[in-house]
Structure 1
């Protein structure tokens, strides 16, 4: 039986090709989110009554990026915890919030967003932290479908689309 030369060449490439590839770095998982916390990278929002704080998974640890204050006082158990745990980046540990226009917002857009595309709410945390969640582009669900409202610029900060 004669084996075609193209088969031998293809088999050799299949064996040698993986040797030239860089290994893919394993992501650092943060584990269980703190009680009452919601992940900003997965659409967590203070609009959700279950969220007492919004967290970002950075370098294998949960970092608080926003407290969810409720009308009539702070969120339940908001006084618990450790001080300035993760006020985000920026000067003096402060957090520059991102504000997006939610005009024309609707519910039920399909298909669902998948990383690196994220809902607009994921950008409305710290301008320095929102782009470290794995999100690159931020979208708002409107009656016409998904509309881009912000993106992560080259400096890793949220840039609002006019």
Structure 2
């Protein structure tokens, strides 16, 4: 199934080579504190209608991907270390693509892209340099995703709620009316 998805034009990939491995742990403020934190954020994504999938057979170097047409986020367990910090970075990156999908466009106004690039360069020179590997048509989306992956978990969740909050409301379970609490 994912071979078909990988050929799609609307598929945003995180292909992380060896130089970026060091940038995976940008800092302790970015890392998930536990696997439970990652599970809770993944649940939030699912409540907004985004499938979260884990594959054990991704191509070498592929850590994660988002397919907008299927609204599916993929984490590649065969290429990720058993490390919540690394998994969180990839999850945050891919969730930025989910936010772009919710927004139906960029997350940042044009005049803030230069500041975003400066912030990415400060966080991780290798992440900054890797942006050159992307086609110009993908670069802005990748700038935003790399910026998001460097934010603390609480900020990423707040951004997700801001950009995709309407989906949370649509996909939220229907409330059950309380019995015996009438006007009367």
TM-score range normalised by the length of the shorter chain: under 0.3
Provide the TM-score with structure 2 as the length reference.
0.22
Q: State the TM-score, normalized to the length of structure 1.
A: 0.23
Say which structure is richer in helix.
Answer: 2
Structure with greater strand share of residues: 1
Higher RCO (CA < 8 A, seq sep 6+): 2
